[in-house]
Each structure stands twice: as structure tokens, then as C-alpha cells.
Structure 1
Amino acid sequence: MIHYKTREEIELMRESAQIVSKTLGALAAEVKPGVTPLELDAIAETCIRDHGAIPGFLGLYDFPNTLCMSLNQQVVHGIPNKTPLQEGDIISIDCGALKNGFYGDHAYTFEVGEVAPEVRELLKVTKECLDLGIAQVKKGNRIGDVSFAIQQHAEKHGYGVVRELVGHGLGKKMHEGPEVPNFGKRGRGPVIKEGLVIAIEPMINLGTKEVRQLSDGWTIITGDNKPSAHFEHDVAVVDGKPEVLSTFSYIEEALKKTSAI
């Protein structure tokens, strides 16, 4: 079911989304060779709680941690562990926060040191896919318009678009209607209306679109073990237009400071 939000509810959701954005910004300076995903997970939990929120993923569907952390060929839902990050890795960090009864849900794929040029291009194009999808979140459009924009741009670059995992509506539950696939046809799917809030999250693979799940019951990896990228924003329809409730600005500021050192 799709639950359309009032302006007041959207502002509460913005607060939750911004807490996630600030948490990812705090992590940006810490993502480097030698740090472990579990260390980053602890930082994130502290940051979320310090902002008066509850980690949105911790315990959700029995997930054991604050962050989903997916390394290299892992697409999404990776479980943080004690293995240090290495130069040349990429890691998708997906984070959720619950405050005032509403969720924020937001993700960014980080480079660990210097990554291969083809991997950096994958990240660039995946982020562009997100922006193109957001641009289609207009009153009167359909979800398929968002999906088509993402798929077309990714496949134009020869990348695989994951089918088994999709974006989603967001609100008092982490996952509400409608589903927001990263593939589809224009003019198909639910009509986009005022007050819709969705999490758009392209999951784009360097190689095949095929994926499989590991025996932990959570981690999804690419079928050919090539890298995958994942970026996510929370987007509301306000005055008929897309309004992004989350932001990458905290991440970008932290990465600029890190690169200047």
C-alpha cells in the first residue's frame, strides 16, 4: 500500500534522512585502508543515537548491525565484519535511522584509497543513474519513468542492472509501497502523486546483472564476482516536483578535507 505524506510528515522524514546523511558524512573520513567494517558500524550507531534517533536497520528483519556494508562484488545487505578494508576496495554503506516515527534510508559507495579507473567510472555512472531517476519523480509521471531512466543510462555504458532488488516507498515503515525497480518501461507502474516519498537506489554491476545470495542469508553478490555500486536518496513529491530529503553534501565535505591532508 502507498501512504502519501503530509507536508508536516515530510519534514519529519527530512529530519530522519538528514541524520542518516550526517552519519554517512561522519563515516566518510574514516573509510580508509586498515579500518574494519565493524569499527565503522560502531561509529554509525553512536552518531545516530547522539542525534536522538534509533538505528533503522539494527534488528529489522533480525539484521544484526546498524549498517549494511557491501564490499566490491557484494551488491547489498553485507554484514559488517572484522576484516580490514584494503587499498582499491569499494564499499557500499547503507544506513537507516528512525526518529519521530519515520525512517530515513540512504546509501553511498565509497572508494578505499585509489581504485581502478573502470571501477571509478562505474561509481560515477551509478550516481548519474540516481540523479536521472530522481528527475523523473514528478506529479503525473509513473514509477516506470524513474525505472526506465536508470536502466537506460546504466545499460548504455554496458553495465548490468540488478533485477531482484528494488527501491521502495518509505515512511513509518522502512519498506512501503510502491516498489521502485531500476529497470522498466516508461508510462508503466503507479502514478506519481503529491506526497509520495520513495527511496531510489540504483544497484548497478560492472558485469552481469545476475546476482546470488551467500549462505549467511543476507549478503547479495554479483554472479560473476565483478564489482557493484549502490547509491540511494530519499525523495518526496512536493508541489509536484522531486525534493531530495537526504544529501551527499556531508560526505563530499569530508572527502574534500581528507584529500587536502
Structure 2
Amino acid sequence: MSFSASLSHGISLQFSSSFHGEPLSSKSIVFISSPSSSFSGKQSRFPKKLVVYSKRRSGLEEAMRIQRESELQSTRKFRRRPPLRRGKVSPRLPVPDHIPKPPYAGSSLLPELSSEHQIHDAEGIARMRAAGELAARVLDYAGTLVRPSVTTDEIDKAVHKMIIEAGAYPSPLGYGGFPKSVCTSVNECMCHGIPDSRQLQDGDIINIDVTVYLNGYHGDTSKTFLCGNVSDELKCLVKVTEECLEKGIALCKDGASFKKIGKRISEHAEKYGYGVVERFVGHGVGTVFHSEPIIMHHRNEKPGVMVEGETFTIEPILSMGSIECVTWPDNWTTLTNDGSPAAQFEHTILITRTGAEILTKF
């Protein structure tokens, strides 16, 4: 489950993390949603404070952005579907008392971003593998439910039931007031769609984002599924988005630069004329739902390198049109501002000495 980085111009902010006041990029970035929790472990390579200075986008960069948006509008043609409408949201589902719950479960407040990089010992890695494996199985099952006439609320109920029967907690439930156990993002919804009474339509695409909290550890994954007879244009978007995730993971290993992820993803997306959404980013995951490192999927100059034993998500969102977004009054459901389709894929990975182990692969 991603969290957001809101873009604006000429604003300077400070956050806790580990990059010693170096500028992240030429765009100013405000992290507006992220969780926190305590974390103990091997932290000596990651100081607790970070000052992030944002800079005003240069005239050349702004001109290139405008040109790119214009090119996407003219070259990317797709059959517009009826705009997404909000359905009825059913009451929150209960979780049995015997199931351990994350610290935020009893609060409607959005937790702050934890500055701690989550690096695990052997026991922690074993628990991360178990959480990741369960999340992958749940996501695979959720995908079998995708067909025309099924509601996203029905998918949520099935996911909720499977997770609690496994003795785990559905991580999104109650996180910052989120009312459901899974995120279901249809067509132009970038992410964080709230399951409701809307029936899936033939030709829809839907991202299902599953996170489970098992034995004190979160496993986080998502996939975009095809519903019925999907157009070739949308199939291509989904395929390329998954390829972007794979290419980002392929370069991960101990000592690799985080910024390489965004460069590799952007290069592949641009070959097909797709835009990479900048607002939503990957994150550290483990005993804490969201933490440092922040994983940007677009080109950036973020400093920092990966460390063996570290776990985080990579979760690019690609759009066929604008990468700018609008959020519904529910403060979660976020759509492309021009109604163009978007797709997302996500894995939780473990950094090893020679590469990356995908913990949510099924």
C-alpha cells in the first residue's frame, strides 16, 4: 500500500530520515501520509535525522513536462469508459479479539512516517517471508474473484475472511481511518480505492492491493487484473507496468543506489508513451507498515543505498495520460485528473548480497 508525496513549487520542508540535508530533486516534495511505529534492530548505518530541501522546478524542466503531457494526449488514444462513480460503502468488518493488531488499529489518526530503515535478523526475515507468502496467496485468491458483475465490496469481504482465518490482520483496516481490508482501484483510480457496491464491468481493469499483518510483520503486494474482455490498449498498459516493477527489482542488491529504480522504471515506461506517477511512492515495510526508505519510481537524485537484510516495496503506477491526480472527499480514492486509465503492481522485496528476494511472489 503506497503513501503519497504531494508536489508543489518553491516550498522547503524538514523530515526525519538519513540523508544529511541533501536535496532530493529539483521538485519540492511534501510527504503527506505515512505511518510510524517503534522499530528495533540494526540501525547504525542510518542516522535518525534528515533535512529535505525542495527546489523550484527550472523553466526547462517545466517546459519538458508540459511538452510530455501534450505528446501523451496526442499519441495515446484509448476508448474512454464511463467515469468511475462512488458506490455505497458497507460497514467496517470486525476482527476477532484473539488476532494481534498493529498499533494504529485503534486510532483514526494517520500515523507519521517512521525514519527507521527496517533491517532484519534471521528470525525477522523468516517472519517477513511468512507475511509475504500469505499476502501473495490472498492476492492470488482475490484475483480469481474478478469478473463482470462482482462488486469490490464482495472482494473485500472475501479477502477479509481469508486473512483472519489465517490468524492475521488486514493491515489497511483502520489505517488512518481507512474503512476496508483491501484497496480496490478501478480504471482511472491510481490507488487507495475503497471497496463499495459498484459492480465490475466487462473491460475494466482493477488493482487489488493486499497487506497482511502476521506475527508482528507486514507483507504488502498488489496486482492489476483484467475483468472480462479488456482492450488491447489497456492490456498493454498493464503488461508494461508489471515489466516496470520487474526491471526495478532486477537492479536491487546490497550497495545499489535507490535512485536507479526510478531511472530504470522511467526509461521503460517512456518507450511506450506512459507517464510514471510521482505522487505515490514505495516504502520500507516490516514491523512498521510504512517507513524509510522512500522509493521513488520516477527519475530522481535521491541519495542512499540498499543494505543487505533490508525490506521495502516497489510499486510503480503508470498512466496512459496525465500523471496528475484528484482525490475524492473520502480522502483516499485518488484518480488521474484527466480520467485516463492507470495501472499498478507491487512487491515486497528483501535485499540480499547479490540481488533481491521477492517475498510476495506466488
Number of aligned residues: 247
Matched, 1:112 2:257: no
Comparing both chains, which one has the higher relative contact order based on Cα–Cα distances under 8 Å and sequence gaps of 6 or more?
A: 1
Check whether the contact 1:193–1:240 (CA below 8 A) recurs between aligned residues: no
Check whether the contact 2:253–2:353 (CA below 8 A) recurs between aligned residues: no
Q: How far apart, CA to CA, are the structure 2 residues paired with 1:51 and 1:177?
A: 28
Greater helix content: 1
Q: 1:153 is matched with which residue? A: 268
Check whether the contact 1:159–1:209 (CA below 8 A) recurs between aligned residues: no
| Deviation, structure 1 residue 185 | 4.1
Secondary structure of the corresponding residue to residue 93 of structure 1? strand
Q: 2:196 is matched with which residue? A: 81
Amino acid at match of 1:13: M
Q: How far apart, CA to CA, are the structure 2 residues paired with 1:183 and 1:77?
A: 20
Residues 193-237 of structure 1: per-residue CA shift (max 9 Å, x gap): 111111100111011111121121111101210110010000001
Instruction: Pick from 338, 344, 349 the counterpart of residue 235 of structure 1.
Output: 349
Give the share of equivalent positions with the same residue, in percent.
37
TM, length-normalised to structure 2? 0.67
Secondary structure of the corresponding residue to residue 148 of structure 1? helix
Matched, 1:167 2:274: no
Q: 1:144 is matched with which residue? A: 259
Q: How far apart, CA to CA, are the structure 1 residues paired with 2:344 and 2:136?
A: 15
Q: How far apart, CA to CA, are the structure 2 residues paired with 1:29 and 1:100?
A: 26
Matched, 1:218 2:332: yes
Check whether the contact 1:203–1:230 (CA below 8 A) recurs between aligned residues: yes
Residues 16-45 of structure 1: per-residue CA shift (max 9 Å, x gap): 111111111111221100110000000000
1:3-42 to 2 correspondence within 5 Å?
Answer: 3-42=118-157
Greater strand content: 1
| Deviation, structure 1 residue 239 | 2.9
Q: Give the RMSD, CA atoms, in angstroms.
A: 1.1
Check whether the contact 1:148–1:185 (CA below 8 A) recurs between aligned residues: yes
Q: How far apart, CA to CA, are the structure 2 residues paired with 1:6 and 1:151?
A: 33
Check whether the contact 1:67–1:95 (CA below 8 A) recurs between aligned residues: yes
For structure 2, the residue ranges without an aligned partner over 5 or more in a row are 1-114
TM, length-normalised to structure 1? 0.92
Q: How far apart, CA to CA, are the structure 1 residues paired with 2:300 and 2:145?
A: 40
Matched, 1:205 2:319: yes
In our comparison, the structure showing a higher alpha carbon Rg is 2
Residues 68-92 of structure 1: per-residue CA shift (max 9 Å, x gap): 1101000000100111111000011
For structure 1, the residue ranges without an aligned partner over 5 or more in a row are 250-261
